Structure 1
Amino acid sequence: MAFSFRQLKYFVATAEAGQVSQAAIQLNITQSAVTAAIRELEEVLVMRLFVRHPHGMVLTDSGRRFLRHAYGILANVEEAMLLSNWESDFRGSLSVAATYTVMGYFLPAHLRRLAALYPQLEIRLYELPRAEIETGLLQHDFDVAVLLSSNVDNPALQLESIISSPRRLWLPAQHPLLSNPAPTLQDIAGEPYIMLTVDEAEQTALRYWEPTSLQPAVWVRTSSVEAVRSMVANGSGVSILSDMVYRPWSLEGRRIETVNLPDQVPPMTLGLAWKAQAEISPSIALFRDYFHQQFLSPSSSQRSTGTR
């Protein structure tokens, strides 16, 4: 007996959410359906995937290993479904610039799909800070960029947002603030804070702290998301980061929990940028159309609201 695509989807959603109830909300199904799918999957695999705790579901070592395979299977199925709708003999080239966060946590899977859909589209890729990307776009060094559009304020560039990724409070397991359904920045100000600095993350954070007349009690600054993940998971402090870079486990296998924040903490917006009033080449148009199909079409509305 084989496992099903549905069981894999429910398993991954539960692993990422850490709770059956949250997975059910994301999937728009009942909790009993999620529970049954996971039980069936465990029976097929003859292994225990989760340890059930009062506060949620924690992956076993076997569950963590299987999660990596599940991601790959789901990605391959999605790619196969795309291929059935997008076959093309398009030829062209495109120079694409991206910032660190986009390159590390968003773009690789889409580059893989684009290569499968358009094997004769040559994409030249560059990772640079936002300011250098903006200059490069205006000087025609790059055709298009994928960056954190919420950081861009340049009237010479045309922007098109494609994803809005909520920012949440990251906490270690069993932290007292997990029992607070709506912690405020005042609550967080009393905690040691792990400040991410890459891609202007610190400047962005200080902008939404400033109106409160509060400051985060920064314990350490780091350009590494993995360092933030490990330090939060190990109980050294808390942080506020977007769902795009969230993973529920540190490299040491410790759990990172998240809590929703008030509206004063804005989401992180990711989008495309190109020189305003420049001619849109067929390659740029194809690149834009791909992301429209992925995130801006009605059928993709659920996908565009979260990347956890």
Structure 2
Amino acid sequence: MQHIALRYFQEVAETGSITKAATRLNVSASAVSRQIIKLEENLSATLFERHPRGMVLSQAGQQLARHVSRIALETEMALTEIRNFQAADHGHIRLASYEGYAIETLSQAVARFREKHPKVTVHAWVGNSEDICARVLAGKADIGITYSHSSPPGLTIQLVEVRPIYALIPRDNPLARRASVSLEDLRGQDFAFPDNSRSQRKLIETALAARGFNLNRVFSTNSMAMLKTVSCMTGCVMFSTSVRGQMHGITQTHAEVAVEDEVFSGSVLQVVTMAGRQLPQPVRNFLASAFGIAEPLA
């Protein structure tokens, strides 16, 4: 039956392997292979590129995977609504966010939301913007919060918010008393940087490349929490997109100073959802509570 073929297709798409998909489905690898071949024949399209190390979705396969994920989510939403028919404000929300936003702002948004909706559970996954988009596309997250990242096809951008990058400068540094600084002013300072996997690092490198010089990076990490802690303990300068006053710990030792640079002042946050998906009511409630989005786009 077609739904069996689609289920097998979804498992292969997620695992990238017929053998792994067969293990998860508790069937033989040959049964999975037959269903994939039959589905490709019925659609007259190649859904996977076969490589020695696994199965990679073709362009047609990516399109089908998005539809299958959306169908699965719509089905789960219908089942959940039926289960909770007699109960108000039940449900589960899956968030995916970059760490800098999750640490302070998103944590506060979740706390406020839970006060008003105590029967709704929330899971937050933290990672980089590329992986956040992939999770929303795969139906593994209801809402994605990305940073200065070009969203791929299949996502709806619900909100774009400018979040300038500030320099967090130790308060005993004369530069901390200024309203703003240029990148040239920061030359000679010791810096703690996010590593290359972070979108903020890419923006920093872009801005520095335009100026033709580098800053003195003495520490780097993929953890924004550790970046903040090390900066506090060592007196390094770091960059942050936090709204003033929200990084509570570091503002005791560092002052937030605006950076005079077009790249830094133009960085943005995006809130994304799966395109074409009917969002469950708890997800819509969270969008309204956390971001002021009363009517989400489809």
Of residues 185-194 and 218-227 in structure 1, the stretch that sits farther from structure 2 once superposed is 218-227
**How many angstroms apart in 2 are the aligned matches of 1:295 and 1:173?**
40
Distance 1:195 1:121, change over 3 A: same
User: CA RMSD, aligned part only?
Assistant: 3.2
Alignment of 1:1-308 (within 5 A): 89-145=88-144, 147-161=145-159, 163-178=161-176, 180-197=178-195, 199-233=198-232, 236-244=235-243, 247=247, 249-250=249-250, 255-264=253-262, 265-266=264-265, 268-293=267-292
**How many angstroms apart in 2 are the aligned matches of 1:180 and 1:99?**
29
For 1:70-108, what per-residue CA distance to the aligned partner results, in whole angstroms no more than 9, with x for missing partners? xxxxxxxxxxxxxxxxxx933333332233223322222
Distance 1:153 1:213, change over 3 A: farther
User: What is the letter of the counterpart of residue 183 of structure 1?
Assistant: V
For 1:11-70, what per-residue CA distance to the aligned partner results, in whole angstroms no more than 9, with x for missing partners? xxxxxxxxxxxxxxxxxxxxxxxxxxxxxxxxxxxxxxxxxxxxxxxxxxxxxxxxxxxx
**How many angstroms apart in 2 are the aligned matches of 1:123 and 1:282?**
14
Distance 1:212 1:234, change over 3 A: same
User: What is the letter of the counterpart of residue 272 of structure 2?
Assistant: A
**How many angstroms apart in 2 are the aligned matches of 1:174 and 1:278?**
51
Distance 1:132 1:181, change over 3 A: closer
For 1:191-230, what per-residue CA distance to the aligned partner results, in whole angstroms no more than 9, with x for missing partners? 2222123743311221222222222221221234454445
**How many angstroms apart in 2 are the aligned matches of 1:195 and 1:136?**
26
User: What is the letter of the counterpart of residue 129 of structure 1?
Assistant: N
Unaligned 5+ runs, structure 1 = 1-87, 297-308
**How many angstroms apart in 2 are the aligned matches of 1:122 and 1:234?**
36
**How many angstroms apart in 1 are the aligned matches of 2:134 and 2:163?**
26
**How many angstroms apart in 1 are the aligned matches of 2:139 and 2:293?**
27
Q: Secondary structure at the match of 1:133?
A: helix
* Equivalent residues of 1:172, 1:235 under 8 A apart: no
Superposition TM-score, scaled by structure 2 size? 0.58
Of residues 222-231 and 266-275 in structure 1, the stretch that sits farther from structure 2 once superposed is 222-231
Q: How many residues align?
A: 206
Residue 143 of structure 1, CA deviation: 2.1
Residue 268 of structure 1, CA deviation: 4.6
* Equivalent residues of 1:162, 1:270 under 8 A apart: yes
Identity %: 13
**How many angstroms apart in 2 are the aligned matches of 1:92 and 1:117?**
13
Distance 1:278 1:140, change over 3 A: same
Distance 1:243 1:119, change over 3 A: closer
For 1:165-195, what per-residue CA distance to the aligned partner results, in whole angstroms no more than 9, with x for missing partners? 3322221123132355442111213322221
Superposition TM-score, scaled by structure 1 size? 0.56
**How many angstroms apart in 1 are the aligned matches of 2:186 and 2:223?**
21
* Equivalent residues of 1:231, 1:237 under 8 A apart: yes
* Equivalent residues of 2:180, 2:258 under 8 A apart: yes
Distance 1:285 1:237, change over 3 A: closer
**How many angstroms apart in 1 are the aligned matches of 2:104 and 2:267?**
13
